[in-house]
Amino acid sequence: MKRRITILGATGSVGQSTIDLIARARDSYRVVALTGGHNVAQLARDAIALSAEIAVTAHEDRLDDLRARLAGTGIEAAAGEAALIEAAARPSDWVMSAIIGAAGLRPGLAALEQGAVLALANKETLVCAGALVRRVAARAGARILPVDSEHSAVFQALAGANMDAVDRIILTASGGAFRDWPVERLEHATLAEASRHPNWNMGQRITIDSASMFNKAMEVIEVQQLFDVSPERIEVLVHPESLVHALVGFRDGALMAHVGVPDMRHAIGYALHWPERRALPVERLDLARIGQMSFAAPDEGRWPALRLAREVMAAGGLRGAAFNAAKERALDGFIAGRIGFCDMARMVETVLARMEGDAALIDGEMTLDNVMATDHLARRRADEAMAQRTG
């Protein structure tokens, strides 16, 4: 029996690495759906190469282009958010959630509702709506497997151990593009400089989030939600070489680390073949050649995103959705050249403070409607804050 596979965000960095693994063992898989955004050329190419049942673009104005590229192939073409959700809801055994941003939430929930194994790269899903996502997964009997490299590393280092035996979880952070910059220089960091990651080859948005540490901040919230661990047990450790992806500290003092080359196909492949470990086309680490690794405590003055994430976790409610939405808009503003690099954290902090005036919403029940309402309101507040800042 072929395994039925769906890839949400197939045209992105994680999506393409997933396709690379699937394409190497095509006969083992039946590809149900591939989804993408603007890049319909890539989407159509992959849908044809993998004989997908359906290809969906998020953007309705790209549908004609997608249809034209798929003409005569028998592959369905569709567009828009409802079509993305419908594709995710088609029966599949394994769904990769690799859309970027809060846009990944609803399709991910649809995949969980149909009981698929959800390989979760889209960290926003858990940051915005962790309790809701876990509730839906439990109700449907669906399994979430982490794909974010640090979270996959924690999952692997835990090796099924009882969480009672866990003292702490340590997420490593490369420190991003600016780890060695003097803090004063960060104010003037350009888009080109922030878009170059020293170790990982990733999409532009997550690369910038790595430079600002918003990516790690999101991951701290994600790890709390995935493993149900209290915030004070989650630590961040700067590790410039990006070889140790995470460590789990047990109550007997043992530290179990996951060590490997920075290649997302490792975490994706682990989630694809779990609970087995199969051969993967990733480079073997030669520790003798590497010689040494370094570690340092993060400087929260340099990276206010980490402090903000701790505040969000401490206050709880729907603040994760507000945090993510404000961060997404701040990132849009930085990419568009409207605000500076350090303004992103200032903007998120401003939005979070203003959202405290909407306590009925952010301390409300975690339903999808409330999450979406929080997301929309935080985006509006972020746009207001940006307009004030840019005059």
**Binding site residues, ligand NDP, CB under 6 A:** 9-15, 36-39, 58, 84, 98-100, 103, 121-124, 148-149, 200, 202-203, 205-206, 264
> Measured from the CB of residue 182, what is the shortest distance to ligand NDP in angstroms?
28
CB nearer ligand NDP, residue 9 or residue 130: 9
Residue with tokens 């929260």: 300
Q: How far is the CB of 121 from ligand NDP (least distance, A)?
A: 3
Q: How far is the CB of 260 from ligand NDP (least distance, A)?
A: 14
Q: How far is the CB of 42 from ligand NDP (least distance, A)?
A: 7
Alpha-carbon distance 373 to 263, whole Å?
36
Report d(CA 385, CA 276) in Å as an integer: 49
Q: Which is nearer to ligand NDP, 324 or 350 (CB)?
A: 324
Residue 77, beta-bridge partner list: 55
Work out how close the CB of 84 gets to ligand NDP at its nearest, in angstroms, rounded to a whole number.
6
181 vs 200, beta carbon nearer ligand NDP: 200
Going by C-beta distance under 8 Å and a sequence separation of 6 or more, which residues neighbour residue 19?
Answer: 7, 10, 46, 50
C-alpha angle 186/224/234, rounded to 5°?
60
Closer CB to ligand NDP, 21 or 99, in the complex: 99
Which residue in the shown chain puts its C-beta closest to ligand NDP?
12
β-pair partners for 244: 259
Give the contacts of 230 (CB within 8 A, at least 6 positions apart). Answer: 224
Sheet holding 3-8, edge to edge: 76-79, 54-57, 29-36, 3-8, 94-97, 117-120, 143-146
Residue among 33 and 121 whose Cβ is closer to ligand NDP = 121
Beta carbon of residue 252, minimum distance to ligand NDP (angstroms, whole number): 31
203 or 231: whose CB is closer to ligand NDP? 203
For the CB of residue 151, give the shortest distance to ligand NDP in the complex, in Å. 9
Nearer to ligand NDP, 20 or 167 (CB): 20
CA-CA distance, 126 to 123, in Å (whole number)? Answer: 6
Distance between CA atoms of 279 and 375, rounded to whole angstroms?
41
What are the backbone dihedrals phi and psi of residue 90, each rounded to the nearest 5 degrees, phi first? -65, 140
CA neighbor of 271 nearest in space, from 171, 152, 98: 152
Nearer to ligand NDP, 17 or 350 (CB): 17
73 Cβ contact partners less than 8 Å away, ≥ 6 residues apart: 47, 48
Token code pair at residue 267: 């975490």
Cβ-contact 22, 3 below 8 angstroms: no
In whole angstroms, the minimum distance from the beta carbon of 183 to ligand NDP comes to 25
